[in-house]
Amino acid sequence: MKKFKLKVLAASVLAGFVGVSGTAQADSVFAPLVMSDITNGWATVISLKARGNGNPNSRFSGGDITDLHYAYRRKATSLLGMFNPANACEHTDGNGRISSWDMLTHTVDPFVDALAKTPGSDLSTAFTPPGVLDGQNFYGYAVISDVANLDSATEEGNLSGEVGVYNLIAGVMLDYKLLNNHKSNKFGDFSKGFTSKTSTDLQWNPVNRDITFWLGIATGPDMVNGAYGAVISQNQLANGSDDPKVPHNLAPNVAGGAYDNDEENFSGDNPYAFQCMSFFTRNQVLNAGALPRTVDGGWTRKSILGTGGATGAMIYKAALKVIPSVFSGSLQISFTSETSGHLNRSFDGKTHANRPY
């Protein structure tokens, strides 16, 4: 009976789909990590808020119900699948709506809506990918666009919000801000500024203390439909990023490597290529020589070369740590963007190592 109800609900959602090919302008936000897998404890809560011109609910007076567009890109149906660099992302899209000056909070899986605030009576609605409704797990990203809440400026920023990713079994969560494509007014365009970096620093603590891994998402001008990929390496020719072995450019053609926690450098590049998005660890970006020499902590600088039309990538760092207490250990997860290295220096045009945005 439950499966039948799910299929009916999925059909009703599918009936609300509209094509996005004719939508050239929109204010978009990017959710780089969305996980919905109730069996293994994962649930995601998305909270949106919209600024705009006009009175609250005025947009709905004419019966417009298609102003908020969701594009979900699924990489995998399991957490392990997120570490597979070869998997492309599937595309599912549909519509919701949000009023000016409203906040809409919802879960990706409607069967755990108790985690989110119930939408008010102002007719704001969200969209859930039909795969979740049919009981399939979702691991991927989302692009949410407000095609009605436009302003006259070339660069917009009226849609914003945050995301919480919970594991209900382990009792942990990670949260992050939704990224607005404020450098563009095009639908799903994340090809500019800090949302599409061409270099980054990767840093890790002692491996016997923290579990560190990164999430890379290839970005470009069409994050809704683009079949993007990226290569993370120390190929200076890709975009001119500084080599970590010679940070002061004394010998710019010397091959790069990784530093340990005591200023020693070890040659050790290992290019990592992925499609769409991927989790990866230091094992994928260092070679066999640098890995054992940096177990007590270290860092490496990488170039990011987009493929398939991608202009760069976003890199997020996740670190798992057990913090002891007088009662028991407490598992903590941090999830932060690696925001360094995407801007050019004013005096020579080269990529700056540590500008945050």
**pLDDT value, residue 216:** 96
Q: How confident is the model at residue 115 (pLDDT cuts 50, 70, 90)?
A: confident
Tell me, letter by letter, the H, E, C secondary structure of the chain.
CHHHHHHHHHHHHHCCCCCCCCCCECEEEEEEEEEEEHHHCEEEEEEEEECCCCCCCHHHHHCCCCCEEEEEEEEECCCHHHHCCCCCCEEEEEEEECCCCCEEEEECCHHHHHHCCCCCCCCCECCCCHHHHCCCCEEEEEEEEECCCCCCCCCCCCEEEEEEEEECCCCEEEEEECEECCCCCECCCCCCHHHCECEEEEEECCCCCEEEEEEEEEECCCCCCCCCEEEEECCHHHHCCCCCCCCCCCCCCCCCEEEECCCCEEECECCEEEECEEEECHHHHECCCCCHHHCCCEEEEEEEEEECCCCEEEEEEEEEEEECCCCCCEEEEEEEECCCCCCECCCCCCECCCCCC
- Residues 299-320 have pLDDT tens digits of 888 888 899 999 989 999 998 8
More confident residue, 42 or 5: 42
Q: Is the pLDDT of residue 280 over 60?
A: yes
Sign of CA pseudo-dihedral 241, 245, 248, 254: negative
Per-domain residue ranges of the chain: 2-188, 194-337
Q: How confident is the model at residue 183 (pLDDT cuts 50, 70, 90)?
A: confident
Q: Is the pLDDT of residue 193 over 60?
A: yes
**pLDDT value, residue 220:** 93
Burial class (CB in 10 A: 0-12, 13-18, 19+), 357: exposed
**pLDDT value, residue 14:** 31
- Residues 45-87 have pLDDT tens digits of 999 888 765 555 555 555 545 578 899 999 999 999 999 999 9
Who contacts 321 (Cβ-Cβ below 8 Å, separation ≥6)?
209, 210, 211, 331, 332, 333, 334
- Residues 258-271 have pLDDT tens digits of 888 888 887 777 88
Angstrom distance (rounded) from CA 51 to CA 59: 13
Q: What percent of the chain has pLDDT over 90?
A: 34
The pTM score is: 0.82
Q: Is the pLDDT of residue 13 over 80?
A: no
- Residues 123-140 have pLDDT tens digits of 677 888 888 877 889 999
Task: Please give the mean pLDDT across all residues of the chain.
Answer: 76
Mean per-residue pLDDT, 184-201? 81
Q: Is the pLDDT of residue 348 over 60?
A: no
- HSE-CB at 66 with a 13 A cutoff on CA atoms is 11
Mean per-residue pLDDT, 327-349? 61
**pLDDT value, residue 32:** 95
Q: In b/e form, how buried is each residue of 142-181, taking b as 16+ CB within 10 angstroms?
A: bbbbbbbbbeeeeebebbbbbbbbbbeeeeebbebebbbb
CA 172, distance to chain mean position in Å, is 19
